[in-house]
Amino acid sequence: HIYSLNCIMMCSLRVGAAILIVHKFDINSLVKFVPKYKVTVAPLVPPIVLAIAESPAVESSDMSSIRMVLSGAAPLGKELEDAVKAKLPQAILGQGYGMTEGLVFTMSLAFAKERFEVKSGACGTLMRNSEMKIINPQTGASLPRNQPGEICIRSTQFMKGYLHDEEATKGIIDKNGWLHSGDIGFVDDDDEVFIVDRLKELIKYKGFQVAPAELEALLISHGHIADAAVVPMKDEVAGEVPAAFIVRSDSSNIAEDEIKQYISKQVVFYKRINRVFFVDSIPKSSSGKILRRQLRALLAASIPN
């Protein structure tokens, strides 16, 4: 909602840009209308970025007019960033961050007239007239730069509250006016904001916290994996362990042990994949967010085997 309103409609109106709207995304249509209409800025979501990165049709089409790819609605892993940059080397890839309750918090300058560098994984800098702090979710204490914690925002731009739901409002906006996003992230030395994952989606392995998005980015970088999602699985010893749902690439017969070994070589012990389940597709919302509750329900019902 906010991504489309702020980053597409409002930005386009401000600079006088035309907006090209399609009824439904299709990669074969995309590679035709980009050169036809000389599209310069492509506001996308991760599933479409993934389609561009993996489609041979992109290589055989003239996509040179695109100078900026903006991704939002869900985190974009470094491996996927690198893949789409290889397909569109002339374009800058930027990300934004926000939520319906608070509008856009941070944003890369999608409509900048001059080329500028965007850090890998960053989702821009804080919008004007806003304050941000990173806190320890357990203690509420403010954290220094480069240390992940819950992102809190204070601004005149976010909502006054949930309609007819005072308790829910108190649960997200504290007495000092800080909106608690429920997202884990950090701010670096250059004021760039990085999102790690949703606070509620972190996997609690004993005293450690594991971000599913980190493991998903590594999994998708494997040539035989088309898509992936990671969710917590109950464990008597650790409390929770990572379990992966995998969509194999076409003609791939990659096995569970191979996937486990691939991840184990790149992460510390508590981030290792404990179980792998192969599925035909990963359930996602229209904006590209993984519907983890459906995957958790599959685990709880012991449907995968």
- Out of 3.40.50.980, 3.40.50.720, 3.40.1190.20, 3.30.300.20, select the CATH number for domain 1-90: 3.40.50.980
SS3 127: coil
* Distance of alpha carbon 131 from alpha carbon 173, whole angstroms: 14
Residue 217: per-residue pLDDT = 87
Q: Which of 75-79, 107-111, 114-118, 291-295 bottoms out in mean pLDDT, i.e. has the lowest?
A: 107-111
Task: Tell me the β-bridge partners of 186.
Answer: 194
Q: Return the H-helix or E-strand segment holding 192.
A: none
State pLDDT tens for residues 233-251.
998 889 899 999 999 998 8
Name residue, tokens 């329900």. 297
Residue 302: per-residue pLDDT = 60
Mean pLDDT, to the nearest integer, of 184-200?
89
State pLDDT tens for residues 19-71.
998 888 888 899 999 999 999 999 888 878 888 888 888 988 999 999 988 88
**Alpha helices (H) along 7-160:** 11-15, 27-37, 46-54, 56-59, 78-87
Residue 10: per-residue pLDDT = 85
Q: Is the pLDDT of residue 204 over 60?
A: yes
Residue 114: per-residue pLDDT = 60
203-302: CATH homologous superfamily?
Answer: ANL, C-terminal domain (3.30.300.30)
Q: Is the pLDDT of residue 173 over 90?
A: yes
Q: 70 CB contacts (<8 Å, ≥6 apart)?
A: 7, 41, 42, 43, 44, 94, 95, 96, 108, 110
Estimate to the nearest angstrom the gap between the alpha carbon of 206 and the chain centroid.
26
* Distance of alpha carbon 190 from alpha carbon 35, whole angstroms: 36
State pLDDT tens for residues 277-295.
999 999 988 767 789 889 9
**Mean pLDDT, rounded, of the chain:** 88
Domain boundaries, the chain: 1-90, 203-302
Task: Tell me the β-bridge partners of 96.
Answer: 107
Q: In 3D, which of 119, 102, 98, 118 has the Cα closest to residue 110?
A: 118
Using alpha carbons only, give the angle 100, 192, 67 rounded to the nearest 5 degrees.
Answer: 80
- Whether the CB-CB separation of 211 and 195 falls below 8 Å is answered with no
Residue 61: per-residue pLDDT = 92
Residue 285: per-residue pLDDT = 80
CB count, 10 Å around CB of 68? 21
DSSP tag of 38 = T
Do the domains 1-90 and 203-302 sit in the same CATH topology, yes or no? Answer: no
